[in-house]
Structure 1
Amino acid sequence: MVQGEQAYLDLCRLILENGNKKADRTGTGTYSVFGHQMRFDLSEGFPLLTTKKVNFNLIASELLWFIKGDTNIRYLLENNNNIWNEWAFEKWVESDDYDGPDMTDFGHRSLQDEAFNLEYKKQMETFKEKILTDDAFASKYGDLGFVYGKQWRHWETKSGEAIDQLKDVIDSIRNNPDSRRHIVSAWNPEDIPFMALPPCHTLFQFYVADGKLSCQLYQRSGDTFLGVPFNIASYALLTHLIAHECDLEVGEFVHTIGDAHIYSNHLEQVKIQLKREVRPLPKLKLNTDKQSVFDFELSDFELIDYNPHPAIRAPIAV
């Protein structure tokens, strides 16, 4: 079985050659396949793509945001992470409090109209500044609802109690490693209407064997060019963190995707990436003075010998 970065590149080729042309909620259009699995042996290196540069700090700060149980983008902006901005920005520009120029369909219009794109960037900067400096504004418009952090750390029961799934799964790995119930779910049907974006990575499960911790993610929907490389590295990092806390080595990350797709405006970027030669994977170094997953900060991670090809830019579909 093909593993590692080559498995990811093979998925890209599969979609280009055999993908079904489909419409989607963003109106962009995709080519997709249904039901695909990749495997990454974490002992061979940290699975951050080398055929294009991927920003590790964005991945790590987002994961820490999830782990903290946070759902407000202020923490992300404080760490120069803008990957969730558009969903919060959309809530603001569609509200009665917004009195600026029309931002309807800003995702598409900013790509097609340079004058609009300049105005959009201006409004986005205003929005970010308000999130960072105005507590009331950040509380109202920076929060994305019942997204990953809430489901991982504060899943609400019918009786109004909260379940800390992440803490519980760590306790389960420590105390009953052979259990088949090391599961965290982000898909809470009751809360879907209150999420900025229903969770794409819906459920993950851990597996302990031979002193190693492995993780499998089920992802209902995967933006193969922009999103999936982040998801691979994010869950690999989470596996490293939990293995460290539980005194285990890392095993495999298994990535199972339902709808694996490439957006129609990413096709040329994917073709460029596929022409590049794979390079050796980097290594991940953790600050071993920290033991608990919940104590780590961005400065506690070090990526060693990461030598990727240049980044390839592509628009995000909102």
Structure 2
Amino acid sequence: MSLADKIFIDMCNDILENGTSTEGEKVRPKWEDGSPAYTIKKFGVVNRYDLSKEFPALTLRRLAFKSCIDELLWIWQKKSNNINELNSHIWDSWADEEGSIGKAYGYQMQVKHKYKEGEMDQVDRVIYDLKNNPYSRRIITNLYVHQDLHEMNLYPCAYSMTFNVTKEKDSEQLVLNAILNQRSNDILAANNWNVCQYAVLVHMLAQVCGYKVGELVHVIADAHIYDRHIPIIQELIKRPIYEAPEFYINPEIKDFYQFKVEDFELRNYKYGPKVEIPVAI
């Protein structure tokens, strides 16, 4: 069975059984009809995925893999904050008339910063350090820039990546690991989406730097299930589980900026029926 499914099921059961409710409290999100979107939440959820063993796509329901990759490239490769450069509509509710989401996500990735080695943006700094100083404990990205929050149409949810290189036991082969820090995570709509996006990112960076993939650790400050998602989650976690799919990344790509959506595939991917998910805004 897929380990990602087991982690997801255990997490959902823990939130439903041991979480706390925000019902009746002051909350920001609203449903389409204007009513408050309450949640059951758990603080400080930590999940570990060994990317060397399997790709963490859920089999309980289908992951929209191509759209997931497209958004990842939009932020990390195109470094864009305009939805007109994105092929899905997931950001439409937060975009202005020109398509901008403000100084959020991709905008922060393209800002150049001064370092001793010269000016670089955050993505190029990560690649530089992984190639030139792999044992650094400072390979970190951060999208939660306080001075720009007032110009972001949505504060970043997945806001920080910390990369850490280890060595394979009894080998000189270097292994790339990462921690994804998330302040808030909608478990039904976004949890597996985020996990798979950043799993792909680890694969991309490992390939262009000549490393193997190791662990992705997902740290969630506020892991929540929305009130209208509870019956959907309850049905979902009772479904059959299948074997994890095989992840394919085009081995010819050695430049981070040359990857395209078509360079990634999930092969032998078996999954359960689609679920309709109301989204709180």
| TM-score of the pair, normalised by structure 2 | 0.89
CA apart distance, 1:192: 0.6
Q: RMSD in angstroms over aligned alpha carbons?
A: 1.7
Rounded Cα–Cα distance in structure 1 between residues aligned with 2:83 and 2:200: 21
Q: For 1:42, which of 42, 48, 51 is the aligned residue? A: 51
> Higher helix share goes to which structure?
1
Q: For 2:73, which of 53, 64, 67 is the aligned residue? A: 64
Q: For 1:85, which of 80, 92, 95 is the aligned residue? A: 92
Match of 1:25 in 2: 28
> Higher strand share goes to which structure?
2
The Cα offsets for residues 66-95 of structure 1, whole Å up to 9 and x where unpaired, read as 02111100121xx3x11111112xx44xxx
CA apart distance, 1:285: 1.2
Rounded Cα–Cα distance in structure 2 between residues aligned with 1:290 and 1:274: 37
Query: Is 1:188 matched with 2:142?
Result: no
Structure 1 stretches (4+) deviating beyond 4 angstroms?
A: none
1:243-282 alignment runs, 5 A limit: 243-282=206-245
CA apart distance, 1:294: 1.2
The Cα offsets for residues 94-140 of structure 1, whole Å up to 9 and x where unpaired, read as xxxxxxxxxxxxxxxxxxxxxxxxxxxxxxxxxxxxxxxxxxxxxxx
Q: Identity of aligned pairs, percent?
A: 36
| Greater Rg over alpha carbons, structure | 1
Pairs aligned (count): 261
**Structure 1 residues 39 and 271: alpha-carbon distance in aligned structure 2, compared to 1, 3 A threshold:** same
CA apart distance, 1:31: 0.6
Does the 8 Å CA contact 2:4/2:58 hold for their aligned counterparts? no
**For 1:278, what is the secondary structure of its paired residue?**
coil
Rounded Cα–Cα distance in structure 1 between residues aligned with 2:112 and 2:183: 20
CA apart distance, 1:156: 6.5
Match of 1:74 in 2: 84
Gaps of at least 5 residues in structure 1 are 93-140
**For 1:44, what is the secondary structure of its paired residue?**
coil
Match of 1:11 in 2: 11
CA apart distance, 1:196: 1.1
Gaps of at least 5 residues in structure 2 are 30-35, 168-173
| TM-score of the pair, normalised by structure 1 | 0.79
Query: Is 1:291 matched with 2:225?
Result: no
CA apart distance, 1:295: 1.1
Match of 2:33 in 1: none
The Cα offsets for residues 283-316 of structure 1, whole Å up to 9 and x where unpaired, read as 2211222211111111111211111111211111
Rounded Cα–Cα distance in structure 2 between residues aligned with 1:156 and 1:74: 26
Query: Is 1:229 matched with 2:192?
Result: yes
